[in-house]
Structure 1
């Protein structure tokens, strides 16, 4: 039996880079910072490149963005959690990717095991409105958050914990993540990997569907 294992940030929910663009539209003072947002911005983002090279963690990258945006808005020492709330908890903004929600629903309908392996869900978002809006998390078979376990992807132990908890051989688990290092770690752990490209996220869900033997989304 195949199983689906998902990252959250950038995969199930839109990426911080996408949400930073929206913040730049709302706040003119932030536009220069928002022009540097990983692969999605019109300006180079050296800190993103450092993260991809392993010189910064994702938490360190977003701490830098929070500091920059905070200075632009006159909020010195702005905590990352408050920055993330500003990005993701605006009224009327739907942060869940429709293609992700459709895939999760079809996986559940097919009776396939479903797990989540995330590094930073609680660290970034706590138990606030975003978490409350991710109702599917209450119905997954496995939820592993490095915020609590202290073991972050691409540490091999993170994947081993997910494999053990799902009770499915690693080679039958389809893992979707947007970070190249996390994908490489999963590949070394024997999982079937699908890397989500932030420039074309729906393609990753179509590929995951194919790997799982599910019909294409309508």
Structure 2
């Protein structure tokens, strides 16, 4: 089979994400408690609203700042996300040598598009303009429409696209949309998948 596009998840594939580390980093940077950050970001539903596209990046940061009584800019937010996102070097090394076009689909807010070059710099500029978030459309993995929308934008055919994610629910959603899809959690797993699909 011919694979013309490799579609990638972020958290759990490109990086290992530790939410507690992000909360702690943001708390220290803003001189507030971790409990206050947890409440402002997650318990309030603010993070979910950003991920769904209900709030753009600027509004999200403004509301986060209001909840914490601090000014929160994109640089501070990105630094906290970076501190909590540990690159999977074995995965990244394999991807950096591939010739097949790549793109990203992640259930995250719009700020992730700006943050990702900081998280996995070795994959840029190959991924420039090819990072798609749930906030873009309000569609989330594993909804099949989330996948077909990205492929339509890229002019890619589902039958010639391979999607990898650490969550099997998302793999199922991609398969329902007609994509090839496999579960990948580390470099060894990615290597096996790339070999199976003859992606060199």
Interval containing the TM-score (normalised by the shorter chain)? 0.5 to 0.7
Distance 1:152 1:138, change over 3 A: farther
**Aligned equivalents of 2:109, 2:12: Cα separation in 1:** 11
What is the 5 A alignment of 1:109-120? 112-120=100-108
Residue by residue, what CA displacement relative to the aligned partner does 1:43-73 show, whole Å, maximum 9, x if unpaired?
A: xxxxxxxxxxxxxxx949xxxxxxxxxxxxx
Which residue in the other structure is 2:175 paired with? 187
**Aligned equivalents of 1:104, 1:5: Cα separation in 2:** 11
1:174 aligned to which of 129, 147, 162? 162
Residue by residue, what CA displacement relative to the aligned partner does 1:4-36 show, whole Å, maximum 9, x if unpaired?
A: 11011221111336968x98xxxxxx9xxxxxx
**Structure number with higher relative contact order (C-alpha < 8 Å, ≥ 6 residues apart):** 2
Distance 1:184 1:86, change over 3 A: same
1:148 aligns with 2:141: no
Distance 1:83 1:159, change over 3 A: same
Q: Is there any run of 5+ residues in structure 1 with no aligned partner, and where?
A: 24-29, 31-57, 61-74
Instruction: State TM-score, norm by structure 1.
Output: 0.57
**Aligned equivalents of 2:135, 2:15: Cα separation in 1:** 17
Q: How many pairs are equivalent? A: 172
Which residue in the other structure is 2:59 paired with? none
SS in 2 for 1:139: coil
Determine if contact 1:5/1:175 at 8 Å carries over to the other structure.
yes
Instruction: State TM-score, norm by structure 2.
Output: 0.61
Q: Is there any run of 5+ residues in structure 2 with no aligned partner, and where?
A: 26-33, 35-46, 50-67
Which residue in the other structure is 2:18 paired with? 16
1:132 aligns with 2:127: no
Distance 1:181 1:144, change over 3 A: same
**Aligned equivalents of 2:19, 2:193: Cα separation in 1:** 23
